[in-house]
Amino acid sequence: MYDQTAGMTYLGALWKLLPRVKLGPTPSILDVGCGTGINILEAARVLGPCKRLLGVDLAPGMVEEARKKAAAAGVPATFVVGDADALEVEEGSFDLILCNSVYHWFPDRRHTVAGFARALRPGGQVIINCVASPGFDEWISVVDAAWKKLFGTPRDWVPPLPTPTELMGDLRAAGLFVEHLEYELDPAPITDAQAFLRMMTVIAPTWVAGVPPNGARAFMAAVTQGLAPMAGRPFMVTGAGVASVSRKMN
């Protein structure tokens, strides 16, 4: 389900950025927030034999799925449960770090990226692709309004999204040279609210976290109503993303 909904979008970012990476033979690659492993497995397919392929993710279910996928594909990748904020890897040991669609969830991004820089060898590169401000603002407002109306209490279910400038600042503060950065805004109509809600439940499950069981039906109805067309025009949600490639200089 996850790979069918979000996976293909995320792989698009990888395909776009991977040609900007210059690697020697048999690189070591670390995939942070690897999910089901699609990025590192695709990188291995594109790049050929690698010395080491390691994926790290907080969620044991994702790690389990990634292990199954690697085994089925015959790729010698290792996947472990771990926190991006406290990577248990040797300093200077990776040629490439992938971090696709995770960075916006990190609570202390500057600290986490400093850990990436430590894990890279001098000259190594990091790909970060993430949701950026003001991505999904219209959708976030609908969820917040439904929550306030029904439950009355404030709730933090999505961290403030990074701006491209913030991402650039975090990379530079970690001693990384930003080689490429692109920012994309993509407003799209919501033509099928239920399909959109199913997708958001897969990629951002925090939107339903903490909903009291006896309020779930009303919450769903209020959010669905909030996404309805108005005056014959579909509800629009603006996707916003920032994609970058950076290098550790020394």
Q: State the Cα–Cα distance between residues 173 and 103, nearest whole angstrom.
A: 16
Could you tell me the smallest distance in angstroms from the CB atom of residue 210 to ligand SAM? 18
Which residue in 55, 59, 33 sits closest to 44, CA to CA?
A: 55
**Residues 169 to 188 in contact with ligand SAM, rule: CB under 6 A:** none
CA–CA distance from 52 to each of 25, 44, 63, 170 (Å)?
12, 10, 17, 27
For residue 67, give the H/E element and its range. Answer: helix 60-73
Compose the 91-110 pattern: x for residues touching ligand SAM by CB under 6 A, - for all others.
Answer: ---------xxx--xx----
Nearer to ligand SAM, 80 or 150 (CB): 80
The single residue listed with the structure tokens 């990190």 is 106
| By CB under 6 A, residue 79 contacts ligand SAM | no
**Residues 33 to 52 in contact with ligand SAM, rule: CB under 6 A:** 33-35, 38-39
User: Contacting ligand SAM (CB under 6 A), which of 66, 77, 84, 243?
Assistant: 84
Q: State the Cα–Cα distance between residues 3 and 146, nearest whole angstrom.
A: 29
User: Contacting ligand SAM (CB under 6 A), which of 75, 168, 173, 203?
Assistant: 203
User: Contacting ligand SAM (CB under 6 A), which of 10, 136, 139, 196?
Assistant: 10
Nearer to ligand SAM, 159 or 229 (CB): 159
User: Nearest residue by C-beta to ligand SAM?
Assistant: 35
Q: State the Cα–Cα distance between residues 147 and 166, nearest whole angstrom.
A: 29
Q: How many of the chain's residues bind ligand SAM (CB under 6 A)?
A: 22
Left (φ > 0), alpha (ψ -120 to 50) or beta: where does 231 sit? left
Q: State the Cα–Cα distance between residues 222 and 213, nearest whole angstrom.
A: 15
Strands 94-100 and 235-248, sheet pairing: unpaired
| By CB under 6 A, residue 29 contacts ligand SAM | no
For residue 127, list its beta bridge partners. Answer: 98, 245
Compose the 213-232 pattern: x for residues touching ligand SAM by CB under 6 A, - for all others.
Answer: --------------------
For residue 188, list its beta bridge partners. Answer: 237
Nearer to ligand SAM, 41 or 223 (CB): 41
- Contact residues toward ligand SAM (CB under 6 A) are 6-7, 10, 33-35, 38-39, 56-59, 62, 83-85, 100-102, 105-106, 203
